[in-house]
Structure formats: structure tokens, C-alpha cells
Amino acid sequence: MKSDRTPAAPPASGRPDRRARRRQETIEEILDIAEDVMTDEGVTGLSLAEVARRLGVQPPSLYKYFPSLMGVYNALFLRGQREHLAVMRQAMADAEPGLVALTKGLEASGRWLLANRAIAQLLFWRPVPSFEPSPEALAPSVEMVTLQRAALADAVAVGQLGPEADSDEAVYLVSTLISGVLTQAMANEPHLEWGQDRFTPAFPKLMRLLVAAYPLPTSKAKRRSHSR
């Protein structure tokens, strides 16, 4: 939407815009290096000293961009949550509503998480006890849960699941199913992609357990059986 306000004329030199762009580029470079450090040394192995060494600057220089190590973790968490949400949303948007969309979204999530293992641990496994993400960093995660809850509601609406599936409890159950598969894959076959290990191929079958956990009311189940 266009604003009715007349935009302020940029400075003749354009330096503020270039300065802001350079600052953002440096921030992204710091975050990329921090992710590399976590991949190499583990999530708790991240340190400003090592990031500075790889960037080729002295550690105090990083304080111009982040107030502390926790600030770097928070920025990584926010960036990761946004990327993860975008992947899941796209997969669900391209799928049939209900259980198909939910399964496709979670499979896309799993592929992304296994391809970004260090960030995955930061986002969903809490490896840094002293780190608490900010409300802004948590916002995409809240939206992710909303997407899953909407897919469960669709599954109820089209008669795939019973009415109790439209609940927070069902979201928790789905979360347990996907996190269990990913934990097993990361712990036992950490270098394999989604679908190439022993655990992730079982995920669609696990999702069918939702039908047993949240069955249709008897009358609806009979009608569906007779209509086949």
C-alpha cells in the first residue's frame, strides 16, 4: 500500500543507506559464521572469540552488532524460525487441506531441520540452558503452531479425525511424533538426509496413529465406511 506522505529526500551522498546495508551484511556474515561454529563445535561451543577470529576482527568489534553471546543466539533463533516457518507454510499451502497438508508440512520441516542440524538443535532442543529467546524470536514458532492447529481443524472438518483432534493436545502429540523421529535420526544417523535413514521413512505411518488417537464418532465412521 502506498503512503500518502511525501517521502523524505535521501541525502545527496546516499551514505546512510549504504552504511545500513553494510551493517546488515556484516550482521548476516556474523550469523553465518556463528552457525558454522555451532556446526563444527556444537551449539554450546559457540563463542564470540571464535566468531571474531573467523571474521578476522578483535572480539570487542562484535559488540557494535550484538550486545552479548546471548544476542547472537537470539538472532540465530529468529532467523532460523523465520526460515523454518516459510518452508512449512509453503509445503502446507501446496497440499490438500487436513492430514495431507499437516504431514507434508512436517516432512518439509524435517528435511529443513536435518539440513540445518545446529540451528535445529537451537530451535527445538534447548541445548543452551541459559538462553531464553525474545518474544520477537518466538513469534514465528507461535505461528507455526497456529498452522498445525488449523490443519488439524481442517482434518476434523473434512471427516478425517474426530472432533477432539481440534485441540492443543493434538498439537502436542504431533510435535512428539515429529521430534521423536528427528531425535532418533540425529542421534543414530546424523549424516543422512530425510528419507535416507531408518527412522524418518516411518513418519507417515506414525501420522496415521492420529486416526486411532482421535477416531470419528461411531455414526460418522459408519457413514464413511458405507460410502466407500
User: Which CATH number fits the domain that encloses residue 27?
Assistant: 1.10.10.60
Residue 223 has a pLDDT of 55
Pick from 144, 35, 28, 142: which is nearest to 86 by CA?
A: 144
Does residue 221 form part of some domain? no
Does residue 3 form part of some domain? no
Residue % of the chain over a pLDDT of 90: 86
Residue for grid cell 541525502: 11
| pLDDT of 181 strictly over 70 | yes
For 127-151, what is the mean pLDDT?
Answer: 97
What backbone torsions phi and psi does residue 46 show, to the nearest 5 degrees? Answer: -70, 135
Q: Which of 66, 93, 125 is the endpoint of a domain?
A: 66
Q: Which domain holds residue 185?
A: 80-216
Pick from 183, 176, 209, 207: which is nearest to 197 by CA?
A: 183
Does residue 7 form part of some domain? no
Shared domain check, 212 and 111:
yes
Which bin fits 97, alpha (ψ -120 to 50), beta or left (φ > 0)? beta
For 21-31, what is the mean pLDDT?
Answer: 96
Residue 15 has a pLDDT of 60
From the CA atom positions of the chain, what is the Rg in Å?
22
Number of domains in the chain: 2
| pLDDT of 221 strictly over 60 | no
Shared domain check, 140 and 86:
yes
Model-level pTM? 0.86
Residue 218 pLDDT grade (very low, low, confident, very high; cuts 50, 70, 90): confident
- Residue 21 CA from chain centroid, whole number: 26
Query: What is the rounded distance in angstroms from the CA atom of residue 91 to the CA atom of residue 86?
Result: 9
| pLDDT of 149 strictly over 70 | yes
DSSP for 55-110, written as a single string: HTS-GGGGGGT-SSHHHHHHHHHHHHHHHHHHHHHHHHHTS-TTHHHHHHHHHHHH
| pLDDT of 113 strictly over 50 | yes
The contacts of residue 159 (CB under 8 Å, 6+ apart) are 216, 220, 224
Shared domain check, 202 and 126:
yes
Shared domain check, 97 and 162:
yes
Does residue 1 form part of some domain? no
Shared domain check, 187 and 84:
yes
| pLDDT of 1 strictly over 90 | no
